[in-house]
Each structure stands twice: as structure tokens, then as C-alpha cells.
Structure 1
Amino acid sequence: MSDEQPDVKTLSFEQAMKALEDVVSQLEHGDVALDRSIALYERGAELKARCAKLLKEAEERVEKITLGADGAPQGTTPVDGL
């Protein structure tokens, strides 16, 4: 992980997930200094929040697509976890 990291707020869901996986991998190895571990943990928390936000937005978009103007389903079945 380089010192020049993109702003978490600009990452797509896929980019944020990849960056989060990288952070977790580095923390699991346990061969980083304490200060660096704390910085990685903080970035990981930001990345997790970004992923959750983007997933929630996607879920809301799917709900709008699958519900009619009256709020009734339009012949679709809900998908758990989306």
C-alpha cells in the first residue's frame, strides 16, 4: 500500500472492497508497526463504511425499480441481502 492513496469517498464499490481486502491482508500478517496498524485500521473502517453506503444506495435503487408508484411489487420477488 503506497502513501498516496485515493480518497475513500471517490472509490467505487469494487475499488473500496479491493482496498479493504488489502488492508485486512496487511493487518493479518501482523508485521507492521503499531502506528501503521492503527492507520490501516482507520482506513479499513472508512472503506467498510464506504462499501456499506454504496450497498445501501444500490439496495434503494433496486427497491425503486421493483416497486410501482403505489409501492406495490411489480411482479418481481425480493432478493434477500441486496
Structure 2
Amino acid sequence: MSAEKLSFEQAMEELETIVTKMEQGDITLEASLQSFERGIALARRSQTLLEQAQQKVKILTQEGGAQTLEDFQAPD
């Protein structure tokens, strides 16, 4: 599945699996490079999701807990 479609929890779980596999050292150089590339994509996805959550919290606190809340539009 594309990293962009994963939830934060899914991305973190897969990233932990990749790290564990790479730490064991039982994979080829090519597989290590592929895992590293996937890990970078997962880390970026996680960072984006965290930034979006942080922005939503910021919007909520700036408006003093107003009843209406607009969805945050993440940059492409």
C-alpha cells in the first residue's frame, strides 16, 4: 500500500517492522536499500500527519474553542 494512504498508526507500525528487520542484519544490501527507501516514505507520511494534527489543535486553541471548526487543508 502506498505510504500516502496509511494512517499514522499503520505507518509507525510498518516503520518499526522495517527497523527491526534491518537491525537483525539478515537482509541483502538491495533489500536494505529498498527498506530504507520505504522507511523514508513512512517517516515523511508520519511527519505530515503529525503536522496536520498539530495545525488542527492550533486552530482549535486560537479560536478559543468556538463551536465551528474548519478542516485544515494540507499543502500538496
Whether these two folds match at TM > 0.5 is yes
Match of 1:62 among 31, 42, 57: 57
- 1:22-41 superposed matches below 5 A: 22-41=17-36
Between the aligned partners of 2:50 and 2:5, the Cα distance in structure 1 is: 15
Whose Rg is larger?
Answer: 1
Q: Which amino acid aligns with 2:52?
A: E
Match of 1:48 among 43, 50, 62: 43
Between the aligned partners of 1:40 and 1:61, the Cα distance in structure 2 is: 32
The root-mean-square deviation of aligned C-alpha atoms, in Å, is 1.1
CA deviation after TM superposition for structure 1 residue 29, in Å: 0.4
Q: Percent identity?
A: 40
| Higher helix content, 1 or 2 | 2
What TM-score results when the alignment is normalised by the length of structure 1?
0.76
Structure 1: any 5+ residue segments left out of the alignment? Answer: 1-5, 69-73, 76-82
Between the aligned partners of 1:30 and 1:53, the Cα distance in structure 2 is: 29
What TM-score results when the alignment is normalised by the length of structure 2?
0.82
Query: 1:79 aligns to what?
Result: none
Structure 2: any 5+ residue segments left out of the alignment? Answer: 66-76
Runs ≥4 residues deviating over 3 A: none
